[in-house]
Amino acid sequence: GVSENKVPDKPKVIDYQKIYNQIADILEDNDYDDGSYGPILVRLAWHASGTYDKNTNTGGSDGSTMRFSPESDHGANAGLKTARDKLEVIKLANPGITYADLWSLGGVTAIQEMGGPIIPWIPGRKDAEDGSKCTVDGLLPDASKTSNHLREIFGRMGFNDREIVALAGAHALGRCHPDRSGYSGPWTTSPTLFTNDFYIELLKKKWQEKKWKGPKQYVDKETGELMMLPSDLALIQDKKLKPYVEEYAKDEELFFKDFSAAFHKLQELGLTRTGEETVYRFKRTSDEEVK
């Protein structure tokens, strides 16, 4: 029996589809009020990567610097501890995956499992040792501002007008929490389903300023149940952005295609790739039995 000791250790291949399935499995755990962890996992993946600055090649999802203060305490990241803590069980079960890859995969899993498009995904992000590479505050968009600000922030990441509008469609998901952002309410009537409803509601409803002590936001005139941020309404106030809102409201397939490409690009910002990497396209758990 000595001979098998000479067999060199097999390189550890991580089964990312297995981790995807494990994340899918905890999305609807009933220890969270919103019915699904999906939306907050998408927000975590977005805030981890949306700090990218193409001019200095800093920020982005590599490093998972949001684990450390001060980035964990940035106002824009309020509430995301809930998502990071939930993913801790997956990390414990799969110590080989980095936090940076896990947060990114969490977003991709959530989008696909909530009915969204397949998002091609590449692993390889590393975890920073400490908080020395934390990004500065103020790199993520400010919801009280309008299109010039969106162009400035998303332009810094390397996104154009069409991509700004495509990414904004993620607001079909989830809601604003007064104790996190100060804003309140969901954008759509199906906040745990990935659809093009954000654009449909934005165009269809009459939006009026909410009468309250909180920050300026809009509610729909008819029911008062749906909301828009000033930065959301900016997408139809700006003459160059509005045509994309109209396209995506009419054509969900086009939205899915453009969103998938833009979200993939977001997750890749700041990473050095050779082009030889395996690109994963995960199977949705609901597709498993389908042949």
Of 103 and 183, CB closest to ligand CCH: 183
Q: Which two tokens stand for residue 240?
A: 């160059």
- Closest residue to ligand CCH: CB criterion: 174
> Min. distance of Cβ 96 from ligand CCH in angstroms?
27
> Min. distance of Cβ 35 from ligand CCH in angstroms?
10
Q: Is 187 among the catalytic positions?
A: yes
Q: How far apart are CA 77 and CA 57, in angstroms?
A: 21
Of 120 and 131, CB closest to ligand CCH: 120
Of 39 and 63, CB closest to ligand CCH: 39
Of 156 and 177, CB closest to ligand CCH: 177
Tokens 């509430």, residue located: 79
- Catalytic choice (47, 103, 171, 207): 47
> Min. distance of Cβ 132 from ligand CCH in angstroms?
27
Extract the runs of DSSP E, i.e. beta strands, from the chain. 175-176, 185-186, 207-209, 218-220, 227-228
Q: Is 103 among the catalytic positions?
A: no
Whether residue 172 contacts residue 195, with contact meaning beta carbons closer than 8 Å, is answered with yes
Main-chain dihedrals φ then ψ at residue 43, nearest 5 degrees: -65, -40
Q: How far apart are CA 267 and CA 42, in angstroms?
A: 11
Q: How far apart are CA 97 and CA 174, in angstroms?
A: 27
Amino acid identity, position 215: P
Q: How far apart are CA 95 and CA 87, in angstroms?
A: 12
Q: Which residues contact 206 (CB under 8 A, 6 or more apart)?
A: 220, 221, 222
Q: How far apart are CA 202 and CA 87, in angstroms?
A: 32
- Catalytic choice (46, 121, 187, 207): 187
> Min. distance of Cβ 45 from ligand CCH in angstroms?
8
User: CA–CA distance from 262 to each of 143, 183, 210 (Å)?
Assistant: 20, 26, 31
Q: How far apart are CA 51 and CA 91, in angstroms?
A: 23
Between vectors from CA 214 to CA 213 and to CA 219, what angle results, nearest 5°? 105
> Min. distance of Cβ 68 from ligand CCH in angstroms?
21
> Min. distance of Cβ 188 from ligand CCH in angstroms?
11
Q: Which residues bind ligand CCH (CB under 6 A)?
A: 39-40, 42-43, 46, 79, 141, 143, 150, 167-168, 170-171, 173-177, 180-181, 183, 229, 231, 263
Q: How far apart are CA 19 and CA 21, in angstroms?
A: 5
Of 143 and 269, CB closest to ligand CCH: 143
Between vectors from CA 34 to CA 175 and to CA 135, what angle results, nearest 5°? 55
Of 79 and 124, CB closest to ligand CCH: 79
Residues belonging to the active site: 47, 187
